Amino acid sequence: MRIAFMRYFLGLENRMPQTGVLIFAEEDGSAPLLTWMDQLQVKVRDKCIVRIERLAELGHELRRPEADLLRDGIYELRVRHGTGQYRILYFFHEGRAVLSHGCTKEDAVPPIEIDRAIGNRLRFSKDPNKHTYEE
């Protein structure tokens, strides 16, 4: 799934996105978002990809119900499937959206997940090249 997703995502089917979208990488080069997405049902994963495409098309202009600001510059892409609520946390850096990681929620996004995204943003801003996922 990961290789096909990245080829599709990075190419966006030959369309030029309005906003560059990057995927955050840990020190070891792994991508928390992709690890999380690998565990999702195919239909949920497809809906997540659609939200990422919309983020690439609209950037900061993407609003509820598709996206929302949580706090401290951390945003969420919102996906619902059945009774499940899935979120992709992201932030902006130099005009590009950086996808931090995903989580499943019941009510509000847990503060620990927002804090994790804030930590990822701080690490990314110190060394964007080191913390950008590359296939």
Percentage of the chain modeled with pLDDT above 70: 87
Q: What is the pLDDT of residue 8?
A: 52
CB-CB contact of 115 with 122 (8 Å): no
- The answer as to whether 133 is a domain residue is no
**Which ranges of 59-131 does DSSP label H, i.e. alpha helix?**
111-126
How many domains, in total, are found in the chain?
A: 1
Q: What is the pLDDT of residue 16?
A: 52
Tokens of 119: 């930590």
Give the C-alpha separation, 3 to 29, whole Å. Answer: 15
Q: What is the pLDDT of residue 4?
A: 52
Residue 24, domain extent: 2-126
Mean pLDDT of 89-105: 96
Examine the pLDDT at 38 and tell me if it is beyond 80. yes
73 or 107: which leads in pLDDT: 73
- The answer as to whether 49 is a domain residue is yes
- The answer as to whether 93 is a domain residue is yes
Examine the pLDDT at 14 and tell me if it is beyond 70. no
Which amino acid, one-letter code, is at 14? N
Q: What is the pLDDT of residue 101?
A: 97
- The answer as to whether 37 is a domain residue is yes
Give the C-alpha separation, 70 to 117, whole Å. Answer: 11
- The answer as to whether 135 is a domain residue is no
1 or 79: which leads in pLDDT: 79
In CATH, what number is assigned to the domain containing residue 28? 3.30.2310.20
Q: Which residue has the tokens 């983020």?
A: 55
